[in-house]
């Protein structure tokens, strides 16, 4: 059975959600390539920019919890051995340094991770690139796809993004997650990856 022809590029403008406020599965629009673009390479697509905000909020919540524990521990240590000595002063300075590094990481590294993350899909499967300092390229052949999930946490629902989880067979990783996708695009990718399984009746 031949693979579904998905076109040369996956432009976000070609993916239109159905009614119900864009929450339903997207309609597949204009997926046939023009004859003049048959030999063009597939282009990598960026993640949704709203994913930066979601990542920053999630890391800020985590960092606040860790920082709060560090501050409480430092205060208890200081009052337990009052008056404070030089070691306690170093501890307080360390807490402020950690706070500054945490703020820098939340605002700088999340944006950098977004810039260095991308994906593309063609007739052979899905390719994912990510990593700031150590780059990683992941290829998921369509023949290896067993089933897919589209997942949303509370923050993702609030900002209209989702994660696509691809469960594979015969690979070193049982599942691969592509986060930071707009909901219609996540549904579109899910439908593309399992199109052949649906046609053969093997979809899970």
| 39-71 pLDDT per residue, tens | 344 788 999 999 999 999 998 998 888 888 877
HSE-up (13 A, CA, CB side) for residue 9:
12
177 DSSP β-pair partners: 165
Token pair belonging to 161: 């993004």
How far apart, in whole angstroms, are the C-alpha atoms of residue 145 and residue 189? 12
Higher pLDDT, 17 or 72: 72
Q: What is the pTM of this model?
A: 0.67
127 DSSP β-pair partners: 120, 139
Token pair belonging to 124: 């052979």
Q: Are 188 and 28 in contact (CB under 8 A)?
A: yes
| 125-165 pLDDT per residue, tens | 899 999 888 899 998 888 888 889 999 999 999 999 999 99
Q: CA torsion 145→11→106→67, rounded to 10°?
A: -40
Distance from chain centroid for Cα 42: 20
């Amino acid at each position: 059975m031949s693979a579904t022809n998905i076109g040369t590029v996956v432009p976000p403008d070609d993916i239109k959600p159905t009614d119900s406020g864009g929450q339903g599965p997207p309609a597949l629009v204009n997926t046939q390539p023009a004859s003049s673009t048959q030999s063009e390479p597939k282009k990598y697509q960026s993640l949704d920019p709203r994913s930066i905000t979601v990542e920053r909020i999630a890391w800020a919540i985590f960092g606040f919890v860790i920082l709060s524990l560090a501050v409480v521990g430092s205060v208890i240590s200081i009052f337990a051995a009052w008056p404070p000595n030089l070691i306690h002063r170093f501890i307080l300075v360390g807490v402020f340094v950690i706070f500054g590094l945490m703020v820098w990481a939340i605002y700088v590294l999340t944006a950098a991770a977004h810039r260095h993350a991308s994906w593309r899909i063609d007739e052979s499967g899905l390719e994912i690139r990510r990593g700031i300092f150590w780059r990683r390229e992941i290829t998921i052949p369509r023949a290896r796809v067993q089933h897919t999930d589209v997942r949303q946490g509370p923050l993702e629902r609030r900002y209209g993004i989702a994660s696509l989880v691809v469960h594979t067979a015969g690979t070193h990783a049982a599942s691969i997650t592509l986060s930071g996708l707009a909901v219609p695009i996540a549904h579109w990718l899910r439908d593309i990856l399992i199109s052949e399984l649906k046609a053969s009746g093997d979809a899970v």
